Structures are given as structure tokens and as C-alpha cells.
Amino acid sequence: MIVDIKEVAATPEAVILQFSGELDFESIKSLVDAFKKIDTSSRKYAIAEVGKISMISSAALGEFMGFRKTLLEKDGDLVFAAMNMDIRAKFTSMGATKIFRIFNDVRSALNAFKWQQGLAPEVINLTFPANLHLVPPVRQLASRIAKQKGYGNKDSFRIETIIDEICNNAIEHGKKGEDQNISVKIDIDQKQIEFDVINTSDPEKLETLKALLKPTHEQKIHSEEKRGRGLSLIKMLSDELSVDCSEKGTVVHVKKVREVKNGISN
């Protein structure tokens, strides 16, 4: 077994351990020696890059768990990256996937660490043709982004539902045509996620849409008025909802605050 320890210039608190060969019982001493070389007073986030290992023993896994515990006590972590399918299957059989976080590559692991340490929001902009068939992958993308950022299943499901309703409404009540697009902006940080969905207004539906945006207590939402029902659902699931409707276009803005109970995201 060979292990190379690499520092990350742009992220001084992180260190990368590149492994190759077999992490068997005979490699335990080399593994322990590698961990001892890391100054955990300044390096508290370790990424084990294991794309080039052919096997891992339960004894080696135990050493990783021990080193991870040391880092956790310093508010750090040890994660794995670039794991092949065979090793991942081994991890699953040993129950290790319930303990360690696994990333597709080192870059993703570093981004996760930067996200945890810095509270700077991340902004994602996308544009797609105004076609209802394209809404499912967009809503699934929003849900996956939320989960990657640490949002819980409950929040992620609500976010997916909100995006689904907004985008469906934007397509159904917006201007039709092959040249028409829907723009989505996702602004997410550790505390909240915000969406802006923009479409081109349909002049023939503009007045009806404006009327639905100003409901009265006497108005009844009929079964065919999906827009009204959609707005009610979005309002129920979100913390803030605003709609700017004009001849140029409709902009729907939604804010959803991350739910956290006892320090754990729902």
C-alpha cells in the first residue's frame, strides 16, 4: 500500500490522502504512520482518495474510524472520494456508508468542506424550453442541490414540490411557442433557499392571472383553476411568496427557510 499526503494551497485546513494498492492488515502500520504525520491542530478535514485501491480490510476501516473520531473532536471530518464500485460495495456490506460521507471526486469533497466552513450562498441559474416534460428533471435537480447542501428529506421534498408547482404554472399560463423559455434562479445557503422563476406573459391570460393573484374571501377556486391551487400550496410550503405580473413577464419569488430541530436538519 502506498499513501501520498498532499496539502491544498487554497484550503489550508484540508489535506488529501491518496491511496493505492491494498489496504489490508499488513498496511495498518503505514496507515497509522500516515495519520500521525498530519497535524490535526491545523488540518482538520481529511479526504481519503481511494480510486486506486483494490481492497480494504475491516482492520483498515477501523483505523479510518479512529482517525475520523480525532478530527470530529476538532470540528473536522474524514471523508472518502473517487471510490470504485467494488470498494463501495465492500463499504456497504460493512455498514461504513452509514458512517462516512463518500464523494464522487476530490473536488466535490473540497466544495462540501468550503460550504460547511463558509456561509457564502451558492447561486445556480438555468434556462429550459417551456415544456412540461422538462419540469421533472428541474425539480429533481433542485431537490438534489438541497440535499447536497445538508438540507433534510422533509425540506428537500417541499423544495421539489415548490419548484414543480411554480414551473408548471409558468408553462401553463405563460406565452406559448418553441422560442419560449423558463428561467430559474436558485440562491441557497445554510439557512435558506430562494427561487426566482420567470416566464413571458401571455397577453390573453394576463387579466385572469392578475385576478387570481388578488383572491377575496368570497372567491371560490374551481377545480380547473390550477393556478390558484398552486399558489395556495406554494404559500403553505414556503416562508415567503411574491408574484410580479406584467405585460413583459411574470416573476415568482419564493423563500424557504431550512428547518432545523435540535441542531439537526429535517
**What CATH number corresponds to the domain at position 111?**
3.30.750.24
Same domain, 95 and 141: no
Helix 153-173 vs helix 135-148: crossing angle, to nearest 10: 150
Domain boundary among 82, 117, 152: 117
pLDDT value, residue 208: 67
Same domain, 236 and 257: yes
Instruction: Report pTM.
Output: 0.56
Same domain, 31 and 85: yes
Domain boundary among 117, 146, 166: 117
Q: Which residue has the higher pLDDT, 183 or 232?
A: 183
Same domain, 179 and 162: yes
Give the confidence band of 40 by pLDDT, cuts at 50, 70, 90: confident
Residue 264 has pLDDT above 70, yes or no: no
Residue 148 has pLDDT above 80, yes or no: no
What is the domain range of residue 84?
A: 2-117
Closest CA to 85 of 107, 106, 102: 102
- Contacts of 229-232 with C-beta under 8 Å, sequence gap 24+, read 230/165, 230/166, 230/168, 230/169, 231/169
Same domain, 38 and 100: yes
Q: Which residue has the higher pLDDT, 118 or 79?
A: 79
pLDDT value, residue 263: 47
Q: Which residue has the higher pLDDT, 207 or 162?
A: 162
214 phi, psi to nearest 5 deg: -125, 65
Same domain, 93 and 23: yes
Same domain, 225 and 133: yes
Same domain, 113 and 25: yes
Q: Which residue has the higher pLDDT, 75 or 84?
A: 84
Q: Which residue has the higher pLDDT, 76 or 183?
A: 183
Give the confidence band of 110 by pLDDT, cuts at 50, 70, 90: confident
Same domain, 49 and 135: no
Same domain, 148 and 216: yes
Task: Give CA–CA dist 45/70, Å, rounded.
Answer: 11
Same domain, 91 and 152: no
On average, the pLDDT of the chain sits at 85
Task: Give CA–CA dist 180/243, Å, rounded.
Answer: 20
Task: Give CA–CA dist 61/252, Å, rounded.
Answer: 49
